[in-house]
Chains A and B, each alone.
Chain A
């Protein structure tokens, strides 16, 4: 599904130049569950953003589903993204003014799904993440665990082939964290490819494989048994 080679990303600010990704190469197969680990600032999020077609690399190759996308323009990336990729963030990133239902509905609106179909599919996923009873509440009225469940629901409502999760349990206690991990595992078992950034060895154990990064490069790969 994902094949990257010699990927580079350099951030330039007025004073400093940060090499966030330094000739990084890796591969993720269809249906895999990969965890990315490494110290803070080593480039994990940068990698995830490029994988998610949110950002473009400065150099290197990125093949997504057999297509070279490294040089894609903004519109093409957005198009590919909204049909194929779901995101889960550490800080949930729900929209405060929208209800749980409306938050989950958003990706469907942007992919042009009809209203009746939207309602059916949103209710389906809300049921799956067990938040149905809260569908008309606003994010602030929910606990962190519940918010992250809504975020996961939003990420999967479009039935993406790939889910990218950036420290999804970082703001949760272990109980709520485990619940989210169970949900991701379920999704993976149903065929969704997952790439997850995490600091927790415990969470990483849910994955098939751990990629360890240091200073913008992969240093080690552990295959989980």
Chain B
């Protein structure tokens, strides 16, 4: 029986090749999009879940508000982990990662290579985050100082073998013993380290509750409610933090005092499995994603699948009218309603199945492209992973049922006599369900178009907003400390090269990187009320000039003033927080942990410039004169960049033999801050276009059938004198109405969605009305083009043929 159904189904598909092709293609594209996005979403949701105790691991986060500054940190103080384990039995284990030292030079033969994925960790790291061991063992790997665990990649790179346990490696000119080689950490981990050194090698002012520098993870005992556990942090604050804070701040008697003066120090726990999607703190071990993307992408996937299913339904019902006669005859011959439904369902299931096969092929070939856009490394194999496969098999069944059910019932309901008399046509044109579905398709397309335009505008705004400094034509040389005492020589040598205008040596640049705040005060004796928490950057005389910043009050650092070593230039925000009418000439104090007080004189105010992403507001910042040689930047003016870089590299090789030379451009570094947004933009554009294509494919099919249904009417109208434009207008009018309705519904939805998205940016565009008009116009135009192609064809047909009754 079923075989018979399928035999007829195959025959029917073949008989209506054009229709089947449109239907299958639309559904295949829809399914392919859906599969791609489903893979993406599943990958995003899988982060860090592979650790056996993933659901019991938490990171200790700190929220600090102090001196007009607000910090949401991923790190806590060094004694936090040990204290939690000592005082609270719910804490089974803790481990700390110390990543503040950044990249290090690792020796390979005579060459030094700059390694970035390098950290220190407690020996308990592997108890909480067990890794697959390739050689050696991890249980005691980090007990001793001068030990390091390296990844398989690192082992191959430095030893040309994964069997490197027991060998020695030079890190920052110190020998470390490799105690274990581990497999590279899975891609869906929120950190990836190539070198994990023993915590015992960290030189640090230990037992300091007031400095936050350690990523601290704790493992809670089974059944512990982490929200309840967080309440214990008040105790930790009172017992440990307060006594230390009292030494620095006069007049501080309790944490309440601290809070009353507008400050804050709170600790909280971040579940491990939430870090990748929910943690937007500082400093993250790696750039995280955002749950927003997961929501946006899931919505887009569902919408596209729906659009595709709707096409399928619409086209099948539309075509079913052509088959009304067949149904009528079958019914007269005694075929039961059930058989008819089965027949139609097997046809749609067959089509859905063919679509799925096609979709898999499409997915296979577009996955690399999608990986590229979404910055993922998903493999085609994961389509057939055990968690995805049942879903994949269920998909065509669901889609087939969903799309076939309505036409099946629609058709089997026909009264044979009415059908044979041709009375079914009347019902076809006034089908409100179908109209609703078309409205939905265009609603989705219009929302996507609006979203795409606004994302594009915001990114464009970011690229072109006045940053307060010039990011173009600035070449950055990283890790310049490798030059040691040759740094000035190098800088001066490069300045001699043609095309180099100026150069500056500094610790930081106005693109986001890991930086810390220090606390300053207006009086020599600090109390929480006169404190100012601000970043301080060590710069040289040429910094402001090279980066094109503006002094708006006072003056820049100058060699003509011998006293500038104790001078500070503040940004506008810092000046505002201090609250002086005229800050130039006023003093600023800083107390170092050992109790020494340094005083600075404010010599100038620099116009606020953006040094973090435009998502954030500008924070207080002070520039101080000094020698910091981690970065050397050159302002260049040449179209011929390649040879210039080659010349600079030659100078580097001469002055820092064996040391890695790395450079980048400031505008690239700047753009890197908006990778995520650019990614969303690309994905949004791609899927908006696909959604529109699928919707139009459906519309095209629909109009074809509509015109076919109305051939007789079109013929009659032509006989009565209707012109081709008359007829095209008549056929298009109804669809245009639907698109107009779709626009009206789409506008508020799109406005709300984009308004919400823009809230993420401290600096953002305002949504303009013409975007909506443009989106509606685009949708209308595309629909009109699609419809008129078919309408013109129908209108041009010879009416004699359509009116022949014999």
Contacts and interface: CB of A to CB of B under 8 A. Distances in A.
Interface stretch (B102-110, B617-625, B716-724): B716-724
Interface stretch (A62-70, A89-97, A188-196, A212-220): A89-97
A204 B801 CA distance: 26
A110 B721 contact: yes
A54 B797 CA distance: 11
Interface string A24-59: 000000000000000010000100010010110000
B712 A93 contact: yes
A91 B806 CA distance: 10
Contacts of A97: 426, 429-430, 713
B803 A110 contact: no
Nearest to B713: A95
Contact of A95 (B716, B721, B723): B716
A96 B422 CA distance: 11
Interface string B72-105: 0000000000000000000000000000000000
Given A54-B719, A87-B720, 13 more contacts: A54-B799, A54-B800, A55-B798, A81-B721, A91-B805, A93-B716, A93-B803, A95-B717, A96-B426, A97-B426, A110-B717, A110-B723, A110-B726
Interface in A53-107: 54-55, 75, 78, 81-82, 87, 89-91, 93-97, 106-107
Contact of B720 (A45, A82, A140): A82
Contacts of A82: 720-721
A107 B720 contact: yes
25 contacts: A40-B806, A49-B800, A52-B719, A54-B798, A54-B799, A75-B723, A78-B721, A78-B723, A82-B721, A87-B719, A90-B805, A91-B805, A93-B715, A93-B716, A93-B719, A94-B716, A95-B713, A96-B713, A97-B429, A106-B717, A106-B720, A107-B721, A110-B722, A110-B726, A140-B423
A136 interface: no
Interface in B754-805: 798-800, 803-805
A87 B719 CA distance: 8
A130 interface: no
Contacts of A106: 717, 720, 722
A154 interface: yes
A143 interface: no
Contacts of A54: 719, 798-800
Chain B CB within 10 Å, residue with most, of A81, A89, A90, A96: A96
B455 to A, nearest CB: 44
A94 B715 CA distance: 11
Interface in B711-757: 712-713, 715-723, 726
A111 interface: yes
Interface of B: 423, 425-426, 429-430, 712-713, 715-723, 726, 798-800, 803-806
Contacts of A78: 718, 721, 723
Given A90-B805, A93-B712, A140-B423, A111 B721 contact: yes
Contacts of B803: 89, 93
Nearest to B804: A45
A110 B800 contact: no
A75 B726 CA distance: 13
Contacts of A75: 723
Interface residues of A, number: 25
Contacts of A111: 721
A55 B797 CA distance: 11
Interface in A103-137: 106-107, 110-111
Nearest to A82: B721
The 7 closest A-B pairs by CB, nearest first: A82-B721, A110-B721, A107-B720, A93-B716, A55-B800, A49-B800, A91-B805
Contacts of B722: 106, 110
A75 B724 CA distance: 9
B581 to A, nearest CB: 77
Contacts of B723: 75, 78, 110
Max chain A Cβ within 10 angstroms of own Cβ: one of B425, B429, B430, B723: B723
Contacts of A87: 719-720
Contacts of A81: 719, 721
Contacts of B426: 96-97, 140
Contacts of A95: 713, 716-717
Contacts of B799: 54
Contacts of B423: 140
A97 B712 CA distance: 12
A47 to B, nearest CB: 12
Most buried by B among A54, A81, A140: A54
Contacts of B430: 97
A89 B712 CA distance: 13
Most buried by A among B718, B719, B722, B799: B719
Contacts of B712: 93
Contacts of A49: 800
A52 to B, nearest CB: 8
Given A90-B805, A91-B805, A95-B713, A110 B720 contact: yes
Contacts of B716: 93-95
B475 to A, nearest CB: 68
Contacts of A40: 806
A106 B717 CA distance: 8
A154 B804 CA distance: 19
A106 B716 CA distance: 10
B168 to A, nearest CB: 86
Q: Max chain A CB contacts within 10 Å: which of B425, B718, B726? A: B718
B724 to A, nearest CB: 9
Given A90-B805, A110-B726, A154 B798 contact: no
A78 B717 CA distance: 11
A77 to B, nearest CB: 11
Nearest to B712: A93
A93 B712 CA distance: 8
A164 B722 CA distance: 18
A97 B706 CA distance: 14
A154 B723 CA distance: 18
A93 B799 CA distance: 12
Contacts of A140: 423, 426
A52 B429 CA distance: 30
A40 B804 CA distance: 13
A96 B720 CA distance: 15
Contacts of A52: 719
B725 to A, nearest CB: 11
A110 B714 CA distance: 13
A93 B804 CA distance: 11
A97 B730 CA distance: 13
A78 B804 CA distance: 19
Contacts of A154: 720
A85 B305 CA distance: 52
A97 B716 CA distance: 13
A8 to B, nearest CB: 16
Contacts of A93: 712, 715-716, 719, 803
A93 B713 CA distance: 8
Contacts of A96: 425-426, 713
**Which of A93, A94, A140: most chain B Cβ within 10 A?**
A93
A106 B722 CA distance: 9
Contacts of B713: 95-97
Nearest to A87: B719
Nearest to A89: B803
A82 B718 CA distance: 9
Contacts of A107: 720-721
A122 B675 CA distance: 68
A93 B429 CA distance: 17
A30 to B, nearest CB: 22
Nearest to B723: A78
A211 to B, nearest CB: 20
A140 B421 CA distance: 11
A107 B426 CA distance: 22
A55 B719 CA distance: 11
A49 B712 CA distance: 16
B727 to A, nearest CB: 10
